[in-house]
């Protein structure tokens, strides 16, 4: 077993300008624990990112609740995710796992009992479970009341929209739609996202604008225009996440975690911020 270096990413800094309300929830992080190796098909793990590390980040940003997402590095091996949820505790943490059409019912129920509430569908390089299995996975998780967390390049939305419309369960359109490259806010594909939200079972996550934006931080003006339009249209269907620990980003371009929270000052009103950070995730994740 190889030795993965300890975290060297910044876990503290100047306080965010946005004072997070009580119950604020980070709906998208990844954790990399000692003793768990990257699996074939996924990226390498450059550094650990432990529960202890994340708790320092929570304190920095004044966040109280968290949703841990299965990282691509672990592929379909959810053991580290389950171990992290046990450390974090059921009062303040939930998880999103890699689920396949063949995952046994007994495993799904056991994972539910340990805090899993969603299944990840990743249609970008390194994804463990992709759109090809999405409808089959959705049938498996539907009895448990879980949701799907779906990530794709929004510019290719036309390749996915028919099956998204077939979903009966709740699902999240991840990473601000992840339009690569960003499109104008009045693009027809953004119109389509609004129509998906109007159907009542889609959610939209404000997360990792830096991954798609071609404009400078911390404003991310190009993806910010998309975010503002979607937030204004359906503030009751929006959640937010840091995407910590920002794997795959060089240290020279490493984003400020305070800035990832502060985008909401420019993209959402105080009333919308309360919904995005507290009320909406509490409803979706059962906090």
Angle among Cα 15, 267, 245 to the nearest 5 degrees reads 50
Measured distance CA(212)–CA(180) in Å, rounded: 5
DSSP letter string, 253-282? GPPPHHHHHHHHHHHS-HHHHHIIIIIHHH
Q: Which residues participate in catalysis according to the annotation?
A: 243
Give burial (CB, 10 Å; 0-12/13-18/19+) of 206. buried
Measured distance CA(258)–CA(36) in Å, rounded: 29
Q: CB count, 10 Å around CB of 15?
A: 12
Which of 24, 130, 19, 3 is CA-nearest to residue 75?
Answer: 130
Measured distance CA(86)–CA(114) in Å, rounded: 7
Sheet with 116-122, side-by-side order of all strands? 25-29, 65-69, 93-97, 116-122, 147-151, 171-173, 202-207, 238-241
3-state secondary structure of 66: strand
Give burial (CB, 10 Å; 0-12/13-18/19+) of 214. exposed
* DSSP 8-state code for residue 49: B
Measured distance CA(152)–CA(74) in Å, rounded: 19
166: which 2 tokens? 């077939």
């Amino acid at each position: 077993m190889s030795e993965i270096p300890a975290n060297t990413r910044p876990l503290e800094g100047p306080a965010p300008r946005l004072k997070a309300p009580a119950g604020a929830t980070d709906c998208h992080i990844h954790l990399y624990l000692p003793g768990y190796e990257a699996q074939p098909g996924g990226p390498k793990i450059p550094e650990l990112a432990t529960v202890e590390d994340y708790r320092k980040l929570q304190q920095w940003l004044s966040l109280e609740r968290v949703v841990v997402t299965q990282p691509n590095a672990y592929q379909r091996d959810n053991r580290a995710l389950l171990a992290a949820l046990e450390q974090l505790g059921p009062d303040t943490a939930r998880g999103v796992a890699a689920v396949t059409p063949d995952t046994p019912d007994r495993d799904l129920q056991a994972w539910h009992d340990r805090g899993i509430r969603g299944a990840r569908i990743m249609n970008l390089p390194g994804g463990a479970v992709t759109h090809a299995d999405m409808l089959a996975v959705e049938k498996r998780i539907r009895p448990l009341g879980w949701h799907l967390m779906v990530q794709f390049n929004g510019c290719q939305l036309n390749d996915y929209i028919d099956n998204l419309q077939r979903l009966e369960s709740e699902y999240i359109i991840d990473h601000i739609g992840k339009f690569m490259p960003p499109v104008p806010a009045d693009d027809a594909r953004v119109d389509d996202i609004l129509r998906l939200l109007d159907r009542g079972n889609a959610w939209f996550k404000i997360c990792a604008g830096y991954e798609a934006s071609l404009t400078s931080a911390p404003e991310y003006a190009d993806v910010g225009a998309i975010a503002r339009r979607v937030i204004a249209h359906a503030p009751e269907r929006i959640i937010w996440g840091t995407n910590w620990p920002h794997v795959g980003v060089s240290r020279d371009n490493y984003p400020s975690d305070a800035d990832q929270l502060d985008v909401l000052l420019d993209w959402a009103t105080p009333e919308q911020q309360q919904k995005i950070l507290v009320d909406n995730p509490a409803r979706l994740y059962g906090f």
